[in-house]
Structure formats: C-alpha cells, structure tokens
Structure 1
C-alpha cells in the first residue's frame, strides 16, 4: 500500500484560511501552541511526592464533562493534611497515608476546592511544575480563587530530587541495566538491510518484557561526504524509510523509564567494516565523556564538568556547533539538575546520578556516546554497562 502524502499546497491553504479567520475577528495574528509526546511527559514531581502516575493522555477540557485530564495536583499545606487530586483511579501504588486522595473527572475544579479546604484560598502558595499547566487551566484556577497568590517554586523539588536515596539509586541502576541491554540489542540489529524501525523493534523486544517504556530514540545514519545517505526522522524518530548499507555509520541515543526512573545512553558504530574516519569521530565522542568524568572530584561544580568535556572537544579540533551545549544532566524521575554546562555553579555531590553525553559531527560523519554514572564521595561509578566500542 502506497503511503499517503499530503501535498504542500494543502498546508498553505490551511494557513491561509486560519489567517482569514483571525483577520475577520479583528486579531493581529495567532499564536498556535501544541503539546507533543505523552509517553512519559512531566510526571516526576507528583510521583516523587506520592508515587502516583496518571497514564491518561492529554486532551482539551470539555466544559461540563471533564477538566485537566492528564494532570495531577498535590495540595501540600504547611499546617494541614495534604490532598492529592487524580484523574484516573488509584492502582494501589499511591503513598499518602497522612492525606486524602480525590479521584474526579473535574480535576481543576476539585483542586480549587481542595485549596479552599486547606485554608489556602487567600494564601501565598508556591507553584511547582507550572510549565505543565495550560493558559486556560491557569486562568480558570485564578478565576475560581481570585485571592490566591501563586509564586514559582520549582526549585524546592529541583534541589530535593537532585540527590538520590539508596532506593532511588537501586532503581536507577536497574533502569540503566535494562537500557544497556536494549541498546545492545539495537546495535546487533543495525546491520545492512535493516531500517531504523527494525533497529528500534529489536530494542523494544527487550525493553517491553522488562517492564520499561521508551521515551525517545534519537537516530541517524549516514556516510561521510554523501548527503544522500543521511537518514533521520522527527516523527517518529525511527521513521526513515532508508535502509542501512555497508559503509554507513549509525548513532542510537535512547531514553526511557523503568518504574518511573530514567535510563539515558548513546552509542555509535559502523555498519559493516569500520573506517579510520568513522573511528576518529566515534573515539572523539568517547574522549569528551572521559574528560568530563575525569573532572569529578570533591569540590567540583557542574561548570567544571561541562568545561572539561567541551574543552576536550575543541582541543580535538571539533567545533561546538550542535543544538545541545551541555555535557549532560542529572537523571532520576526525569531530567534533573544539574545541567553540566559552563557557568553552572551547582556543586557535584555524592549520590547525584548524571548522564554525560556528547554528539560530534564533521563532514558527514558522526560520533555519539553517553554514559550514566553515580557520583561517589571520591569519584564516580558507571551504572550503564553496555559495551563502549562496537568496532
């Protein structure tokens, strides 16, 4: 069956009709926003505090029928019992013995009532996770509670979540081991004739039985000096129809979660015999990671790690011109602090778990490498254990 294709002209016609409608209403223009993904989304803060995750996908509010689907709110007063507002039934995992759990189709309205019950209707309340609220939801909350003052407070949980407990470290080890086995399966499947989809499917055959979920798989393949061989896709990231050929390189950067805790790693290899130029790029990415990890010591900051890795890249003769200017980040129930970038003064402390990553490109070649590590009192310990080199 031939894949349907919408012609470019149709998209232009749609935009023209939207502009006409805006003009007819006296508007100067439109701001069109979307929310993508949803496989994991932004669940970390409530899960961190209550062990609750809503699996319901985001849908717009339908007045009189539901509100704030895919959203969860925890009302956490300083001098009263907490209340958790959820949009799907508890599956038995919620941990909130000292508080109340309210399941509702009208999550937003019930959150406003919970704030009233907590005596916070006229309070000054810190808002954690404000980036997950839509403009409409926030305005409805303000209308229901006109005397409530909300102030940004993301840093409260950012700081707490950056240092992992022994239980969290155990979960992150398990997640990284599952991710390591997944990427091994994907690398084994990356042979001549395979598509990017075939490669991801091989990894999912391990990930899904292990109870994990894929968040994304950054994929690209190509051949130095031959732009026609470059293969990548945004939606889905494994959607390219090109098949691998001998002489190509391929990079795999995968992330997902097991029991909510994230794995994040990357590898690259040659398809068929490896060339010296491919090895140069592959090894450069590894060298940048090694330089970053070498900067971990008591008293080090996120700046020190970022500067060490990026400095190694420039010393090797590769420009820093990618879309990601950090050498990595914390991981836990998502992408945590700190970001390993120049100028970030956050200290690197024991029991942080970091993913250290670098992608390097030049002349149509690409090297990609990422490891996850546990910071220890005198250094670090790898928690990813996939082979480093596939050549």
Structure 2
C-alpha cells in the first residue's frame, strides 16, 4: 500500500492547564521527598535527544544546536532550565525566544545567551541557593556545566530526581494518548512507504527517503531508522551501517530479507515500530524468523492483564522466544519500554516489579537472528482497564 502524506490527520493539543497540573504534581512529589524544589534540565538542538522533561512541564523546546561554552559570550546553549520551587514561582531559562508555545502563566520566562548563569540567578531568586533540591535531567549536563553550578552555589545540595518526573510521565493523559495515537498513525504510514520502496536494486538510503517523503510533510521528525538487510544460509550476507544507519552501499537483491526499525516524533510524541519482509520471493526460512518475532510480541501482549508487572511481560516474550529454539543473546534484553516524550518507564525486562496500569503506552519489540536470517517486529499499545489497544496499525505481514 502507498502512504498519502496529504491525507488529513486531526492534530490534538495539550491544554495549558494540564501543564500547570503537571508542575503542581512534580512540586508535590519533590515536597514529599523533603526537597525544596527541582532543577529540571533538557537539551534540544534540533534533535530528539533529551528534550522531554522541560517540554513536559512547560511546552518549550530549544532548536539551537549544542556548542561548547565560550566564556564571556554564552553558556549552556541548546540547554533549558526550569527552576521549580515547591513554594515559590517557577522560572524557565531559555536560549531562544519564546515562539508563543510556552505554557507557564504562573511563572517567569528568562531569555538569555548565558543560560547557566541565569539559571544560577533563578535558583538564588527562588531561595534555593543553599537548599536541598532534586536534579532532573542531570545526564544532559556537561561536566563543565555541573562544575560551574557547584562553584557558583557551593552550599547547594543536589540529589538525582529523574524518577519523580519519570513516574509522572509514565501515565498518559487523554491529550497525550491522542498525540501518541496520531504519532503512531503517521509512523505506520511511514514504514509502509518504506516497505513499498524496499525492492530489488534499492539502497537503504532510497528506502529511508521514501519514508521521509511521508514523514516530513506530515510534520514529523526522524529519530533513527535501524536498518539491516541480507540473506541467510551458508554463506550468509549482512548489510548495515552505523553512521548514518541508512548508509550501507549494498543494494537489495532477490533472496534478501530487510528489517526496518524506525522511531521519530510528531509534536514531541514518539512513534516506534519495526517490520520485516523478503525482497523478491519469500522463503519458508525467512517466514520462520519473521513469524517468530511476531509470536514473541504476541506472547508479551497476551500477558497484559490486571495485576501484571513489567517483569511478567518481559518474561512472557523472552520465554516464548526460547521455546521456539532461538537463543536470547542479543544486546537488548528487554521486550520493550514505555513511550511518550521519549523512552519512558517501565522497561519490560525480567524482574522489573513496576505494575502495568491503564494509560501507560508501551512499545513491545523483538529482533530474532539465526543462521544469517533475521526477523524484527514492534508494536505500540495503550494499556486499558481490561487489556490493551494497538496504536500502531501498519501492515503486519508483507508475505
């Protein structure tokens, strides 16, 4: 089937009052932990890398690319700080002008070239200069930035607090579910366009270009396209590239398989799905791998029921894979993860005790390899009170 980028897709939005409620709940969680407030840091830079926390709380994203600090000229470009005291007015420090999307009616917005310096000032203004606070997004701070923060505020006590916000983000509101439903629909059409383009003689780049021709007009942004092709047997053939992931110079040929694992975002909300198919006539051995990946996902989904944990789901899928004779020896030992404004909790892995509850959105994924053959499949689902609803609706089988 051919995707139509001109087809209208309703565009949901998150109301301003929801952002205020998120901040209220985040501040309450900080207070319950004995913290005086939160310092929330995100990085944008025109990519999809670690923008989620500030966007979740304020609807702000910076498109400025990351550049090293230049003393006397700028600091922390591509970074954004939300200072969220438990009892005072919040302040958002940004490095590009507000385009009208910020939702912070109860707080202040400071636009500055010196983002880190003004974040320090905001902490002092909020009475947090020597307080005990939680840091959300510490992994996006450079060592230099963290050092400057400690030098400027030597009495400030900082504790990791990513789990507070991740707990809030793991349960989606009706508006977020609508945004994830739309993102999954666009991702589904994108991967179908890519599968249509995966024909004899095409390159991996040709396949990605076909998907982008749908995604870009639809207002989406590509995070990555994990691509591989090849053929099984002896000798086997395997074609992939790491940088970019669609950079292989091998062209598809009859007898190959190809797998596509794509992720991206629409209005910040992530789609994440995978499919496999044969190039040219399909063989029984190819189908065995394709169907085994699907069966592992279906076993995981079958484990979704009231009272189930993330560990139950992970074990169900991995046990199914082993029961079909495929070793669990890949680099990714989970059966999936939550999605929202990025990769959310929980991870579907053995031993994870997090309950699976309504209004979580999960991406369930599995790649299976054997003897040079590969099957890959991923679906996104909304957890409902009595089970789940599929959000991805891309064609399942291309054979």
TM-score clears 0.5: yes
Q: Does 1:284 align with 2:292?
A: yes
Structure 1 residue 50, shift from structure 2 partner: 0.1
Counterparts of residues 1-391 of structure 1 (less than 5 Å): 39-225=47-233, 229-391=237-399
**CA–CA distance in structure 1, aligned partners of residues 291 and 236 of structure 2:** 25
* Deviation readout 1:132-169 (Å, 9 max, x if unpaired): 00000000000011111101111110100000000000
* Deviation readout 1:214-263 (Å, 9 max, x if unpaired): 00000000000356631100000000000000000000000000000000
Q: Is the 8 A contact 1:186 1:202 kept in 2?
A: yes
* Deviation readout 1:168-222 (Å, 9 max, x if unpaired): 0000000000000000000000000000000000000000000000000000000
**CA–CA distance in structure 1, aligned partners of residues 289 and 222 of structure 2:** 27
**CA–CA distance in structure 1, aligned partners of residues 233 and 96 of structure 2:** 52
State the structure with more CA Rg: 1
**CA–CA distance in structure 2, aligned partners of residues 101 and 92 of structure 1:** 12
**CA–CA distance in structure 2, aligned partners of residues 37 and 339 of structure 1:** 27
**CA–CA distance in structure 2, aligned partners of residues 228 and 103 of structure 1:** 56
What's the TM-score once normalised by structure 1's chain length? 0.90
Change over 3 Å in CA distance of 1:37–1:366 after alignment to 2: farther
Q: Is the 8 A contact 1:74 1:82 kept in 2?
A: yes
**CA–CA distance in structure 2, aligned partners of residues 246 and 36 of structure 1:** 41
**CA–CA distance in structure 2, aligned partners of residues 137 and 122 of structure 1:** 18
Gaps of 5+ in 2: 1-42
Gaps of 5+ in 1: 1-34
Q: Is the 8 A contact 1:38 1:58 kept in 2?
A: no
What's the TM-score once normalised by structure 2's chain length? 0.88
SS at the partner of 2:225? strand
**CA–CA distance in structure 1, aligned partners of residues 79 and 188 of structure 2:** 31
Change over 3 Å in CA distance of 1:36–1:157 after alignment to 2: closer
**CA–CA distance in structure 2, aligned partners of residues 82 and 37 of structure 1:** 23
